[in-house]
Structure 1
Amino acid sequence: MDGQRVYFQHVGKVKVKWHRCLPDTAIINTVSFKREPDGWHVIFSCELPEVEIITTLSAAVGIDLGLKSFLATSNGESIDPPRFYRQAQDKLRRAQRAVARKKKGSNRRRKAVQHLAKLHQHIKNQRKDFHHKLTLSLVRQYGTIAHENLNIKGIARTSLAKSTHDVGWAQFLAILSYKAAEAGTSVIAIPANNTTQACSVCGALPVTPLTLKDRVYSCAHCHQVSDRDLNAARNVLRLGLSLQTLT
């Protein structure tokens, strides 16, 4: 690797365009490349020094992931889901029809397939950019972040599959995890049992369980009334801090 070129075994030196510089403390373990619809990308697998995690109880937050709002925090903040896939459905539908109309093996079909792949890649990049910006904002504001340990694969097999894949919870949590490690922020995953159903003030469960249509939480015991997602985020924070104290 010499500034503008990277050496690959059995290939030689290849000119590359750098999007970001590698950290000075990074130790490169492997270098590989893969083909994407917009060209070839070089991937560096690096070893970085461990970052000491300094937890701050005064700067802790609980987040509740959902589909109505992408996430709600225990401080009352709500982030709307971007819905990149749903917004691009018309373009994708036209691109898929263009592929179907082309003769197999023809250059026109190859170009149509490439156009469709670029549309999917654009949606993927939009979603990843949204996740990166949101996780960066969280780790800059908070020293401790608690979230539910969701069964994402199980939810993706239900009627909510399209919306679940569109928000990309798994990618968001993965990015949050490594950004928190870099920033020295503690991330705590807590069991998702009853975080939505229990009252965040008194801990009582409702007589009739809440459904997805119920957006307001009203406790029959302590008479607390709040947004359903806010109530869940406060439960997540309380459980997260209790687990942090035990460890």
Structure 2
Amino acid sequence: MGLDVGVQSLVATSDKELIPAPKFFVNLQGKLRLLQKRASRKQQGSSNWKKAQHRVAKLHEHIANCRQDFFYKLAHRLCDRAGMIFVEDLNFIAWAKGLFSKYMLDAGFGEFFRILEWVCWKRDVLFLKVDASHTSQICPECGTHTGKKELSQRVHFCPECHHQGGRDVAAAQIIAQRGLAAVGHTVKMLGEGLSIGSPGRAYRQDAWRGVKRRLPYDPRIPRALSRGSVNLPRVAHSSSNPINRQQSSP
């Protein structure tokens, strides 16, 4: 299953499901502003000032707990539906400095990926990050590069094959295809008897980039494939995609 994250929908899956963002901070922003205003009117260091600061901290804690609870439940629901989950390798620090920084921080994409990776590890589900470049610009049906889209353009349309659908869903399908291509390459090398990710640190040469990359190995890959619980779109183009090894800890 491929997952694409965004502001309008927290998660779009390759199964064409859109999961809206709950916006816990935005919904309670008015109450938080009121408590902060009351705290600013108190004499600093006084007993009433400490009580007001405690109320502000408790509201922040409530927002964080609600967001975390939602992420854990969503992660378990996604793991119930797929044996492999693929996401983009994104720089969330750069996202948080953009025009929609408040909504990005409220969505908590980095925290969601961290929780999802941990839940996948506990549930014996493969979690893999793939190259995030041009996922919303490539057609999932024919692999045509359709060009850069404005943020307000929410519909994907391919001029070559005339495929039309949601932009976020199309990006999630591209992510799923790249993840399948990466997993298929790893399983192929396992079948050839190569020692992938062994203590000897096997490497492969990426001709398209001219650099050495360590071959990742995850024992959950063959188990997920043998279960037959993966239902992803076909690979339209199997280009070489970098595989970022995830360091999971219990």
Using the size of structure 1 for normalisation, the TM-score is 0.74
Q: 2:167 aligns with which of 228, 239, 242?
A: 228
> Secondary structure of 1:70's match?
strand
Q: Which residue of 1 aligns with 2:182?
A: 243
Are 1:175 and 2:109 an aligned pair? Answer: no
- What letter is aligned with 1:151? N
- What letter is aligned with 1:191? D
Q: Which residue of 1 aligns with 2:106?
A: 166
Q: 2:149 aligns with which of 198, 206, 210?
A: 210
Q: 1:196 aligns with which of 136, 139, 148?
A: 136
Q: Which runs of 4+ in 1 moved over 2 A?
A: none
Partners of 1:63 and 1:129 in 2: CA distance: 19
Q: Percent identity?
A: 35
> Secondary structure of 1:245's match?
helix
Where structure 2 has 5 or more consecutive residues not aligned to the other structure, the ranges are 187-250
- CA offsets 1:169-226 (integer angstroms, 9 cap, x no match): 111111111111111100110011010111111111124x101100000111111110
Q: CA deviation at 1:103?
A: 0.4
Q: CA deviation at 1:235?
A: 0.3
- In the alignment of these two chains, the number of paired residues is 186
- What letter is aligned with 2:133? N
Q: Which residue of 2 aligns with 1:77?
A: 17
- CA offsets 1:75-103 (integer angstroms, 9 cap, x no match): 11110000000000110110010111000
Partners of 2:63 and 2:163 in 1: CA distance: 40
Larger Rg, first or second structure (1 or 2): 1
Q: 1:155 aligns with which of 95, 100, 103?
A: 95
Partners of 1:105 and 1:182 in 2: CA distance: 46
Are 1:126 and 2:61 an aligned pair? Answer: no
Are 1:66 and 2:6 an aligned pair? Answer: yes
> Secondary structure of 2:9's match?
coil
- What letter is aligned with 2:158? C
Superposed CA RMSD in Å reads 0.8
Partners of 1:216 and 1:154 in 2: CA distance: 25
Partners of 2:142 and 2:149 in 1: CA distance: 17
Higher strand share: 1
Partners of 1:80 and 1:138 in 2: CA distance: 14
Any residues of structure 2 matched to 1:84-163 within 5 Å, and which? 84-163=24-103
Q: CA deviation at 1:229?
A: 0.6
Q: CA deviation at 1:105?
A: 1.0
Partners of 2:67 and 2:95 in 1: CA distance: 19
Any residues of structure 2 matched to 1:28-47 within 5 Å, and which? none
Where structure 1 has 5 or more consecutive residues not aligned to the other structure, the ranges are 1-60
> Secondary structure of 1:164's match?
helix
Q: CA deviation at 1:139?
A: 1.1
